Structures are given as structure tokens and as C-alpha cells.
Amino acid sequence: MTIDDAEQQSSRSRSGIARALAVIDAIARAAHAQGVSVIARETGLPKAVTHRILRELVAGNFLAFDEDTKVYRMGPGALNIGLAAMRELDIASVAHRHLVALSGRTGQTSTLSVRQGWSRVYVDQVLSHQEIRMSVALGTSHPLHAGSSSKAILAALPDTEVEDYITHHSLDGVTDATITSAETLRDEISVIRAAGYAVSVGERQVEAASVAAALHGPIGQVVGSVSVCGTRAMFEEASSSRLGEWVARAAADISADLGAVRDTAGERKDTP
């Protein structure tokens, strides 16, 4: 049996719907629009079969085709379905089991925040089993420059949005440790982006410390953050870098469950 024969047999063994979904998934996961040869290679389908599926999806307005560059990208029909799925996305339900695991692993309280415009709101937490522990008030809103959960969200936004926040919002101090300087906040954002997580010591609550990482949704949008928090004394006994790695890993797992795309190395890929 030749390679072409094997490909044809493999293609026939998959239903038409399964093949169409494989094509859609390949395009959705790609960082850029793709041509038919690349899509065929990614799906393992024969080029002729891939081309026929692509034509049907374009005809149905699910994909868009660029006549000049000969590449395919998601179309208006896909956007409508994506938006409907995002409306149904329950971040707290998706994230809760990860919060439980993170709290168990670190011994600290884990929290979930969702972004709401230029602020974020606590929506869930799993309390530490230690006698002395931190807790947060669910439903409370906080600015994006105070505390690790806020700074993680801000640092994950595009530069234009970061500058918009810094330029048009008052960087009020919540405590004496809150960053209130625009230049210091820009430097802090660079540190957070390099590390993959944010650290706060007394920035939102005087005796509290926390580590947080941003959460991303299906199209790379920043939807919130996950953190572990405790007292200053607790965090002085633990390594912030180790906690940061665990929090960043939990954030990546939650983001993947929310539909964010990862590359072959296991890292999330954002849409531009």
C-alpha cells in the first residue's frame, strides 16, 4: 500500500463531520491564516479532501478565503458560534477544581478573580486549612494596579491597553505599599511579564502577601487571574518563585480548560 493509499483509507475512516471539525480546529489553533497545504498536513487529510471541505466552509460563511494570498481564516459564522460559547462560559465552575488543587499543594488560600473593564472582582476562593489563614470578600471590586491578582491582569493586557489604564486612571494608594507611580508600574509590568506571575506584599492589605497569574479565554483575551494568598509571615517562609511557578501552571491549566490554545511545548498562544 502506498502512502497516498494509506492517507485515502485513513480519510475514509473518519466521518465527514469529524474531518470538517479537524479542519476548523487546525485553522482555529493557528496563529495566522493558513493555506490548504498546511491545513492538509496539520489534519492528516489528503489535500483534495481538505480543499473540498474548505470550499464548503467558505460557502457557508464559516471560513473566509483571501484570493490574493490563498489563505483561510475564521469567518463571521465561526465568530457567531464563538461568541455564543463565550456567553455560556462559566469561569468559576471551570476553575474551581484547580483552586482546590492549588490550595492543597501550596497550603495557602487560593482565589479566582474575573476582569470587569478596568477593575477585577473576586468570584471564588478555597480557604487554607491552616489555623491562621487569609480570606477575601467575594464580589468586591479592585483596581488593576493594586495587588498581585490585579497586576497579573494588567500585565497580560496589550501595551496600548496598559498605557490607556495608566494614562486615564488615578493610581490611588490602597496601602502605603501600593504602586502609585506610572513609571514604577511600567517597570513592575515588565518584571511580571518576564516572570509569568505577579507578587504583592502588603499592596492591597497591609499584612497580606500573594502571588497571581493571568487567565486567558478562547481568543487569547484576558478574563481574570488566579492567586494564592497568605500573611506576610507565611510567605516569608515559602519561596515566592516556587509559589509563582505553581500559580502560573494552575493559570495555564485553567486557561486551557477555558479554550486558550497552547503550542507543542505546552505554553499558551495568544492571538495577536
pLDDT tens by residue, 86-134: 555 688 889 999 999 999 999 899 999 999 888 889 989 999 887 777 8
Task: Determine the 3-state secondary structure of 95 from DSSP.
Answer: helix
Q: Which residues are CB-contacts of 59 (< 8 A; sequence separation ≥ 6)?
A: none
> Which CA distances in Å does 124 have to 115, 172, 228, 243, 254?
13, 25, 12, 19, 14
Pair 184, 213 in one domain: yes
Residue 77: domain span: 3-85
pLDDT tens by residue, 67-99: 889 999 888 877 667 656 655 568 888 999 999
Reference 270, options 116, 258, 212; nearest CA is 258
* CATH, residue 212: 3.30.450.40
Q: Which of 67, 85, 103 is the last residue of a domain?
A: 85
Reference 34, options 24, 20, 45, 49; nearest CA is 24
CB 58 within 8 A of CB 64: yes
* CATH, residue 49: 1.10.10.10
Q: Which residue has the cell 509569568?
A: 196
Query: What is the rounded distance in angstroms from the CA atom of residue 266 to the CA atom of residue 216?
Result: 14
